[in-house]
């Protein structure tokens, strides 16, 4: 960096820069005529991120709490996701940041950027919060009682807020140490404010009473009554705060209203009396930064917000089934029925969603742990039973599913499922999936209505009648004994197949819900010759990593 050029660039009739060691100090004249000093540690500048000037809030306390001014005096002058520095022009970048920092302060003093403060409430609230918690489901739309359960993580107790006791407890169990979580909930008050929060943010009990009162006497009385009626020493107040483009959730913890002679226990007047008591009214509420971890929020942030709704049954949680479950969860599915009676072995790890730490566990139970650990919104029911027994004895478990996927690579199970669908023992849609050698081709038969595809598409040995690889038997490998045979393919290709299928199937347009289809996907099909695989002519015309869909009903 050319320091002399930087000094010349930053010198104007209202800015007077100087160097003190590695610090650039700029004396600035603000729009109201006042003078301040801004500083920047230029030795620490990497030129690959936006610089940030700071102001000494001890010397200039009136600037504390202005929009875009942090608690330590740092001035956020630009949105890093929208503005990027030019590493080849660091002096100009510092100059532009200085000009913007001064403008931010001028706007804050004039009150012209208060809308920015409201829009960025979450960031300001987080800076002032000592504690944090989680919002676990959809926001209420009006004042009501919600519940908190505590996830115990080591020595920490993190509150999980939800509209029902059960939801709060479930999230606490999923987020905390699984063997060490709260067994009960506490009632909390949710208030929907009609006005944005005032600037600067309230801190004391009196300030919060006045702030909530701006949204109307009814809202204020709800707040006061809750604190009067609380059976606990402290109570959580959760606020829905409006802004122009969204709604924020903020929360704080404060003491319940003290008892006073002559006042009924549950009357809001008792709280009004408490606010005249300085030992109570000047206490500071404990702000909680609340992260919304609901499925709705996560998938609005992760994409279109359109998830997969309902329960998805998966028979067979091996390599194909495990990655199917993971892909469905990535697409927004949050409820699963997992069925597999086999144990995860060392030989499975290279092409299974569960890693080495799950070896020795039942595959369905391992997938349950993995999915629920990755996303606390996910709920799985796992069975270690033979799927045939469930079809015969408890078909209602499967019929509660939005769709049942058969990924067991087991012809008798596939036969059993199709027969159950045809005789209406199974009443939910069925998808049978399998992969041919080296994942050169993969298939999904989608049965949205009963159809005897075993008769139509399979031979007398229950083998698919029109395979892509005509010499599949040449590639069946065995490690130790007759129960250890397997077909070679990589997890990367399995995931590519599943992503293609879920994208098409989940859209509900190409694959309609009232028809049956055969989905055919190709991997690196052009490599078949090198692998000594003989490709059937009807597949040989397909391109690598493509798919086709045919109606079969």
The answer to whether residues 376 and 508 touch, using CB atoms and an 8 Å cutoff, is: no
Residues 543 and 431 in one domain: yes
Q: Assess if residue 264 is contained within a domain.
A: yes
CATH at 318 = 3.40.50.720
The answer to whether residues 228 and 270 touch, using CB atoms and an 8 Å cutoff, is: yes
Can you tell me the distance from the alpha carbon of 513 to that of 227, in angstroms, rounded to the nearest whole number? 52
Query: What are residue 547's DSSP bridge partners?
Result: 521
Residues 352 and 473 in one domain: yes
Q: Assess if residue 553 is contained within a domain.
A: no
The answer to whether residues 173 and 369 touch, using CB atoms and an 8 Å cutoff, is: no
DSSP symbol at 111:
T
Residues 141 and 280 in one domain: yes
pLDDT of 139 reads 78
Tally of domains within the chain: 3
Residue range of the domain that includes 103: 3-112
Can you tell me the distance from the alpha carbon of 220 to that of 190, in angstroms, rounded to the nearest whole number? 12
Residues 535 and 402 in one domain: yes
Residues 251 and 316 in one domain: no
Q: Name the burial class of residue 128, with classes exposed (0-12), middle (13-18) and buried (19+) by CB atoms within 10 angstroms of its CB.
A: middle
Q: Assess if residue 117 is contained within a domain.
A: no
The answer to whether residues 314 and 289 touch, using CB atoms and an 8 Å cutoff, is: no
Residues 97 and 136 in one domain: no
pLDDT in tens, the chain (553 residues): 789 999 999 999 999 999 999 999 999 999 999 999 999 998 876 667 788 999 999 999 999 878 888 878 999 887 644 566 677 888 998 999 999 999 999 998 887 876 776 667 777 788 789 899 999 998 788 899 999 999 988 888 999 999 999 999 999 988 887 554 557 899 999 999 999 888 778 999 999 999 999 999 999 999 999 999 988 999 999 999 987 667 789 999 999 999 888 777 667 889 999 999 999 999 999 999 999 998 888 876 555 545 688 999 999 999 999 999 999 999 999 999 999 999 999 988 888 999 999 999 999 999 999 999 899 899 999 999 999 999 999 999 999 999 999 999 899 999 999 999 999 999 999 999 999 999 999 999 999 999 999 999 999 999 999 999 999 888 876 554 444 456 678 899 999 999 999 999 988 888 999 999 999 999 999 999 999 999 999 999 999 999 999 999 9
Query: What are residue 519's DSSP bridge partners?
Result: 444, 549
Can you tell me the distance from the alpha carbon of 342 to that of 340, in angstroms, rounded to the nearest whole number? 6
pLDDT of 45 reads 65
Quick one: CA torsion of 531, 532, 534, 540, rounded to 10 degrees? Answer: 40
Q: Assess if residue 59 is contained within a domain.
A: yes
Residues 465 and 394 in one domain: yes
Q: Assess if residue 273 is contained within a domain.
A: yes
Collect all residues with Cβ–Cβ distance below 8 Å to 312 and sequence separation of at least 6. 325, 328, 333, 335, 336, 337, 401, 402, 403, 404, 405
Residues 436 and 507 in one domain: yes
pTM of the complete model beyond 0.85: no
112, 142, 175 - which closes a domain: 112
Can you tell me the distance from the alpha carbon of 160 to that of 149, in angstroms, rounded to the nearest whole number? 5
Q: Assess if residue 12 is contained within a domain.
A: yes
Residues 198 and 346 in one domain: no
pLDDT of 196 reads 87
Q: Assess if residue 118 is contained within a domain.
A: no
CATH at 53 = 3.10.110
Residues 359 and 419 in one domain: yes
248, 264, 293 - which closes a domain: 293
The number of beta carbons lying within 10 Å of the beta carbon of residue 449 is 12
Can you tell me the distance from the alpha carbon of 516 to that of 40, in angstroms, rounded to the nearest whole number? 66
Residues 139 and 106 in one domain: no
236, 263, 293 - which closes a domain: 293
Q: Assess if residue 412 is contained within a domain.
A: yes
Residues 79 and 153 in one domain: no
């Amino acid at each position: 960096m050319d320091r002399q050029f930087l000094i010349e660039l930053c010198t104007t009739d209202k800015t007077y820069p100087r160097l003190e060691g590695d610090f650039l100090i700029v004396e600035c004249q603000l729009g109201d005529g006042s003078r301040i000093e801004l500083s920047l540690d230029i030795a620490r500048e990497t030129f690959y991120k936006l610089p940030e000037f700071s102001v000494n809030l001890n010397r200039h306390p009136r600037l504390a709490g202005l929009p875009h001014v942090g608690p330590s005096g740092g001035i956020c002058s630009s949105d890093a996701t929208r503005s990027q520095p030019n590493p080849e022009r660091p002096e100009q970048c510092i100059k532009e940041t200085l000009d913007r920092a001064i403008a931010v302060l001028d706007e804050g003093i004039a009150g012209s950027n208060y809308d920015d403060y409201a829009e960025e409430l979450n960031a300001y609230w987080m800076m002032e919060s000592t504690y944090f918690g989680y919002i676990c489901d959809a926001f209420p739309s009006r004042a009501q009682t919600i519940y908190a359960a505590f996830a115990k993580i080591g020595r920490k107790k993190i509150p999980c807020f939800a509209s029902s006791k059960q939801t709060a407890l479930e999230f606490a169990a999923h987020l905390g140490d699984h063997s060490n979580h709260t067994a009960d909930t506490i009632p909390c008050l949710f208030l929907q404010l009609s006005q944005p929060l005032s600037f600067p943010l309230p801190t004391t009990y009196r300030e919060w009473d006045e702030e909530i009162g701006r949204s109307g006497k009814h809202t204020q009385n709800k707040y006061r009554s809750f604190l009067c009626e609380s059976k606990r020493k402290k109570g959580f107040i959760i606020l829905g705060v409006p802004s122009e483009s969204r709604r924020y959730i903020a929360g704080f913890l404060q003491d319940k209203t003290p008892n006073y002679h002559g006042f009924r226990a549950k009357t809001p007047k008792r709280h009004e009396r408490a606010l005249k008591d300085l030992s109570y009214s000047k206490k500071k509420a404990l702000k909680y930064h609340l992260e919304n971890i609901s499925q709705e929020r996560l998938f609005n942030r992760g994409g279109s917000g359109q998830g997969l709704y309902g329960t998805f049954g998966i028979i067979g949680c091996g390599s194909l089934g495990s990655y199917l479950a993971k892909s469905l969860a990535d697409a927004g599915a949050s409820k699963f029925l997992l069925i597999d009676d086999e144990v995860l072995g060392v030989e499975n790890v290279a092409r299974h969603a569960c890693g080495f730490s799950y070896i020795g566990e039942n595959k369905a139970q391992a997938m349950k742990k993995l999915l629920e650990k990755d996303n606390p919104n996910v709920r799985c029911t796992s069975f270690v039973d033979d799927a045939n027994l469930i079809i015969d004895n408890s078909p209602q478990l499967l019929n509660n599913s939005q769709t049942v996927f058969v990924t067991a690579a087991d012809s008798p199970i596939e036969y059993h499922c199709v027969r159950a669908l045809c005789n209406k023992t199974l009443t939910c849609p069925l998808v049978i999936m399998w992969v041919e050698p080296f994942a050169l081709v993969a298939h999904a038969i989608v049965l949205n209505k009963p159809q005897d595809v075993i008769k139509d598409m399979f031979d007398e040995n229950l083998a698919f009648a029109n395979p892509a690889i005509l010499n599949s038997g040449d590639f069946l490998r065995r490690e130790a004994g007759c129960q250890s045979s397997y077909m070679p393919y990589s997890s990367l290709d399995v995931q590519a197949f599943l992503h293609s299928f879920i994208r098409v199937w989940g859209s509900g347009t190409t694959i309609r819900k009232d028809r049956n289809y055969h989905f055919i996907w190709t991997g690196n099909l052009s490599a078949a010759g090198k692998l000594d695989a003989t490709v059937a002519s009807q597949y040989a015309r397909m391109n690598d990593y493509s798919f086709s869909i045919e109606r079969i009903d």
